[in-house]
């Protein structure tokens, strides 16, 4: 973990997973942390651990889909800390299932949380940043901001939209050199998000390896305090997925659909559930989702397999483009000139 300064940081979605990992990574003497999420009990348990590490912490239960509540969060955070060095916009939910089989209210709630919730965060804190003339806003997006995920259409829509939102904000704020909009794109992370999420497939959910430790993602986010960057990719599959989608987006989505369809055909049965879409998860917060408990050697083989697929897809798309470009160089004008030459002979 690189050294970083103690800071005043607001974290939404702090009740488990990446948000909890960020809070515990930041916790040290001199740090002032504002933890926000819907689950007050989970937040209080995490706050107690952070206080034990020397940080000053306040808990403000907040639903990021409520714009007025987020404005209140920002004002209370400023009163508590005086200034806000970083705001980590991390709240997120998911709903898995074929688009037409998922209730439309579930799709709407995913977009409200994952896109409008982050917009509410930015709308509340940017005036504070502009007033104090500095600050870092971090959007935790995921590789889903580049690669569409079949069976998670609303999630994909929200993450693609969030990437565009961040790019627009960076443009607007380009005249403020000490205000930063940073996007973080981790690949699949082992958090309780899978077990907490809505499931309309009728089958048990899991996540494809290799899975990142949420603490690694937290360390990368905390590092943005001292070294802000526009874009941070975390994990080999995040880089591979971004490259392959750039070269062959349609092919990527088709292959993902085949993989997921085959998985659900053999996965154990599970009850349909709204998960934490409309109410917070009942359990106390945890960083880990328990999905990485596989033998290391098997994990390495799976990692290699995923990377091999990405490389194969990328190379296929690359050579297809080269082939298309070479055939398109035969323009009507060049064909006509060759015919004229033949007639002259």
Catalytic residue (choose from 155, 185, 200, 263): 155
Strand partners for 42: none
Please report which residue ranges of the chain form alpha helices under DSSP H: 17-26, 40-52, 67-81, 104-111, 117-132, 153-172, 193-196, 214-222, 236-247, 249-266, 296-328, 332-344
CA 60 to chain CA centroid, nearest Å: 23
- What's the confidence (pLDDT) of residue 321? 53
Measured CA to CA, the distance from residue 214 to residue 237 in angstroms comes to 15
Four-point Cα dihedral 143, 145, 151, 155, nearest 10:
120
Q: For residue 259, what are its two tokens? A: 């993989």
Token pair 């009728």 is at which residue?
202
Predicted pLDDT of residue 244: 66
pLDDT less than 50: residues of the chain: 1-2, 294-319, 322-323, 330-332, 334-345
**CB under 8 Å to 46, separation ≥6 — which residues?**
14, 15, 20, 23, 24, 35, 285
Tokens in use for 165?
């939102």
Whole-model pTM?
Answer: 0.83
Q: Which residues of 61-82 are buried (b: 16+ CB within 10 A; e: fewer)?
A: bbbbbeeebbeebbebbbebbe
pLDDT, tens digit (0-9, with 9 covering 90-100), for 285-304: 799 998 875 444 344 444 44
DSSP assignment letter at 113:
I
- Contact (Cβ atoms closer than 8 angstroms) between residue 214 and residue 191: yes
**Bridge-partner residues for 39, per DSSP?**
none
Known catalytic residue: 155?
A: yes
Coil/strand/helix, residue 189? strand
Q: Which CATH number fits domain 8-327: 3.40.50.720, 3.40.50.410, 3.40.309.10, 3.40.50.10890?
A: 3.40.50.720
pLDDT digits (tens, 9 = 90+) for 104-120: 999 999 999 999 999 99
- Contact predicate 86/225, CB 8 Å: yes
The per-residue pLDDT for 299 is 42
User: Cα angle vertex 126, ends 153, 136, to 5°?
Assistant: 80
CA atoms within 13 A on the CB side of 185: 23
Those residues with Cβ within 8 angstroms of residue 191's Cβ, 6 or more apart along the chain or in another chain? 16, 17, 18, 214, 287, 288, 289
Q: What is the pLDDT of residues 198-254, one digit of tens each?
A: 999 999 998 877 899 999 999 999 999 999 999 999 987 666 666 666 676 677 778
Q: Are 289 and 281 in contact (CB under 8 A)?
A: no
Place of tokens 């991390």: 90
How confident is the model at residue 149, as a pLDDT? 87
């Amino acid at each position: 973990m690189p050294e970083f300064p103690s800071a005043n940081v607001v974290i939404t979605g702090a009740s488990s997973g990446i948000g909890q990992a960020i809070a515990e990574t930041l916790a040290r003497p001199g740090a002032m942390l504002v933890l926000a999420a819907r689950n007050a009990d989970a937040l209080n348990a995490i706050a107690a651990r952070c206080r034990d590490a020397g940080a000053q912490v306040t808990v403000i239960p907040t639903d990021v889909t409520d714009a007025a509540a987020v404005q209140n969060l920002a004002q209370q955070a400023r009163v508590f800390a005086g200034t806000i060095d970083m705001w980590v916009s991390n709240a997120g939910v998911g709903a898995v299932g074929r688009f037409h089989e998922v209730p439309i209210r579930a799709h709407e709630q995913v977009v409200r949380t994952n896109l409008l919730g982050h917009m509410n965060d930015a709308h509340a804190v940017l005036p504070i940043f502009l007033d104090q003339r500095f600050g870092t806003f971090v959007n935790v997006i995921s590789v889903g901001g580049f690669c569409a995920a079949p069976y998670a259409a609303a999630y994909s829509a929200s993450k693609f939209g969030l990437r565009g939102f961040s790019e627009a904000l960076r443009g607007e704020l380009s005249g403020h050199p000490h205000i930063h909009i940073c996007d973080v794109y981790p690949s699949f992370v082992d958090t309780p998000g899978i077990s907490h999420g809505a499931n309309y497939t009728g089958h048990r959910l899991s996540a494809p390896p290799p899975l990142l430790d949420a603490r690694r993602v937290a360390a990368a986010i905390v590092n943005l305090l001292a070294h802000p960057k526009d874009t941070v990719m975390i994990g080999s599959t995040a880089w591979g997925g971004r490259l392959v989608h750039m070269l062959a987006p349609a092919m990527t989505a088709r292959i993902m659909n085949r993989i997921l369809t085959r998985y659900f055909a053999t996965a154990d049965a599970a009850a349909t559930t709204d998960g934490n879409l409309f109410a917070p998860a009942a359990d106390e917060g945890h960083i880990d989702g328990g999905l990485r408990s596989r033998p290391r050697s098997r994990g390495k083989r799976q990692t290699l397999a995923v990377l091999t697929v990405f490389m194969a897809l990328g190379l296929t798309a690359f050579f297809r483009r080269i082939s298309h470009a070479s055939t398109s160089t035969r323009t009507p004008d060049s064909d006509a000139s060759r015919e004229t030459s033949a007639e002259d002979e």
